[in-house]
Amino acid sequence: MKNRKKRKLKIKNIIIVLIVFLTLGLTMQAIVKSNPKKQKEEKNEVKTKKKALTEQEEKYKELNNINKKLDYFKDDYLERYLKYKKNNQNLTDEQIIKNVNMNLDLEKYEQKQPAKYLNTEKILVNKYYYLEPDYVPENLEPIDSQYANSNMKMVKIAKEAFEKLATAAKKENLNIIAMSTYRSYDYQTKLYDRYVQQDGKENADTYSGRPGHSEHQTGLAADVYNKIEPYTNFEKTKEFEWMQEHAHEYGFILRFPKDKVDETGYQFESWHYRYVGLETAKYIKEQNISFEEYYATIIDK
């Protein structure tokens, strides 16, 4: 008997709760209906969202919806992509995305940003990415004197890789000697200023990085020669041929190739090599791309 009473009481309580919820729901609905201003605002908000979505979809269509095909497409760059496409109708949509990701739609040195991935092999320093004056890479170590001029230093991992590379070349009676490696911000300032006085700013910018924009400040780059020919003649040496074939096996790439001047912003330098790591160097070699292209499509996406 008691159990029956309890069940009835429980059912009664449930019914009361349901009635309360139903009443509240109907009350809120009535309030909304009685407030045409709020209804209008909500409808306008929905319309605005739909319109914005439609406009964005139209913009994607202008790029043939390539955003669905490329994992390095950046929604934040959508307006930049469209503007660049308008001015470069001859390029494919994929090339447009890649070029804008490399900042080729911007003026060199004018719209720059601090370099990312400091103290790693991923770091990119060029005419769009810079290092602060006080930046000094970690783990700088002197290169063995048999493979470098005096006082040449590189980041430990790059230094060890370079020594292995130079040792392998020496076994084939070839000399790969580091003549310029890590440079401080102040050193680069003096060097760049000298080039400007010598050749003018416009010419100097084709082959020398402005202070803070030199890859040498990362401690990952090395200018090389063979102790016989001037470094500017390195392309004509057997050592250059060897580097073309084997540098990637030690994690190095030719940083400023002949066919990548637009991407790198620098003229061809047969003597300038950059440590990027074994996997990256192999990929860049196989795909015949610049580090800027690799960075824009693989690293910073």
| Percentage of the chain exceeding pLDDT 70 | 82
pLDDT, greater one: 8 or 198: 198
- Choose among 249, 259, 1, 295: nearest CA to 126: 295
Classify domain 113-299 by CATH number: 3.30.1380.10
What is d(CA 222, CA 136) in angstroms, rounded to the nearest whole number?
16
Report CA-CA distances (Å) from 95 to 14, 72, 259.
65, 12, 16
Residue range 66-110, pLDDT digits in tens:
999 999 999 999 999 999 999 999 999 999 999 999 999 999 999
Give the pLDDT of residue 53: 61
Give the pLDDT of residue 206: 96
What is d(CA 290, CA 272) in angstroms, rounded to the nearest whole number?
13
Residue range 18-74, pLDDT digits in tens:
565 556 555 556 554 556 655 555 555 545 555 556 888 999 999 999 999 999 999
Pairing mode, if any, of strands 269-275 and 221-225? antiparallel
Give the pLDDT of residue 258: 97
Q: What's the pLDDT band for 12 if we cut at 50, 70, 90? A: low
Q: Average of pLDDT values for 242-254? A: 98
Report CA-CA distances (Å) from 301 to 74, 90, 97, 218, 250.
7, 24, 11, 22, 26
Give the pLDDT of residue 2: 47
pLDDT at 159 exceeding the cut of 90 = yes
Question: In the chain, which residues fall in CATH 3.30.1380.10?
Answer: 113-299
pLDDT at 132 exceeding the cut of 70 = yes
pLDDT, averaged across the chain: 90
Residue range 263-284, pLDDT digits in tens:
999 999 999 999 999 999 999 9
Give the pLDDT of residue 29: 60
Give the pLDDT of residue 55: 87
pLDDT at 198 exceeding the cut of 70 = yes
